[in-house]
Amino acid sequence: MSSILGAEYCSFTMRKFLIDTDTASDDAVAMCMALRHPDIEVVAFTVVAGNVPLDQAVQNALYTVELCGETTPVYVGADRPMLRDLTTAMEVHGDDGMGDQGLDLQGRTPAEGWAPQVIIDTIRAHPGEITLVPIGPLTNVAIASLMAPDIAEKVERVVIMGGTGEHGPGNVSPSAEFNFFVDPEAVRVVLRSGMPLELVGWDVSTSSAVVTAERRAEILALDTDIAKFSIAIQATLGSFAWDETRLAGPDFPDPIAMAHAIDPSPATSEFLGVDIAIGPDPMRGTMIVDHFGFGQIAKNATIVGHYPEDAFFDMLLDLLST
């Protein structure tokens, strides 16, 4: 395992991350990774409804920040998709989104401010410096983009966990990944925003970020509070993976997207034209990648096709070890 302080992760200046989350079990692990990285300043967390309803997602984010010993502000955002009723994933992540482990996930107070406006103000205040990492439905980001189109040229990177870029299938329908399924209209707004987009799909997670029994043992052997937390909250996700998606353990789509945000150098990727199917079902939320140019979709996003498993887990173990 490489050192967290090694040259492959660190630079001479702190990088600024703004993370948009619908906080449930894998989101929380991704948040811990960013908060624990010595090269990253997480300037804010903005929260959107998705995996769980908004109020629960906010409380889960506040709990995770507190567990990490940090005071990063958490801001409340959209409580539903732009044009649809909310679809949650509580059957995947538990009624509380955190594996139903009896954690104290109530009573904390978020910061004053509305998430889309926070996204706008933060990017404008730090032009060319913000890495925006949306790991939930794209509602907050889409609203911010519509309110302030100028942020597209001011944000440094936008690393999105969403879609299935190379291999499929979907995890909520035959071809759609959950985040893109929940608010496909928001996805289309973001895809057409002109932002510098990097998409890490669920297919990358299933190929490189499955927490098998061996990987679980490696994480628990770290014997830190954050490592034990990161495994405990996957209880219902692990059951879902075994029964429904037929994986050898819970997979970590948000953490592997965060790994790519932190260090994209191990990734295999390609700049391609991308669109989204709005509907009707069963195509709703399906990511359309114009690999060969047949659709004449203007190139608008970098698609991560592969992130090496060992590179991901080496980073994860480093970041959960303190």
Report the candidate in 157, 169, 168, 153 with the shortest Cα–Cα distance to residue 257: 157
CA distances, 78 to each of 45, 50, 194, 216, 241 (Å): 13, 10, 22, 34, 28
**Residue of 22, 26, 254, 263 with catalytic role:** 22
Q: Which amino acid is located at 238 in the chain?
A: G
Strands 157-161 and 268-276, sheet pairing: unpaired
Strands 40-47 and 157-161, sheet pairing: unpaired
22 annotated active-site: yes
Report the candidate in 150, 175, 145 with the shortest Cα–Cα distance to residue 160: 145
Alpha helices (runs of H) in the chain, residue ranges in sequence order: 25-36, 54-67, 90-93, 115-125, 139-147, 178-182, 184-191, 202-208, 213-220, 225-232, 235-240, 253-262, 309-320
Q: Is the peptide bond before 149 cis (omega within 30 degrees of 0)?
A: no
Name the token pair of 70: 């940090």
Residue 317 and residue 322: Cα distance in Å, rounded? 9
Residue 60 and residue 47: Cα distance in Å, rounded? 10
CA dihedral 208, 210, 216, 221 (to 10 degrees): 20
Contact (CB, 8 A) for 114 and 77:
yes
Q: Which amino acid is located at 3 in the chain?
A: S
Contact (CB, 8 A) for 199 and 274:
yes
Burial of 285 (0-12, 13-18, 19+ CB in 10 A): buried
Q: Which residues are catalytic?
A: 22
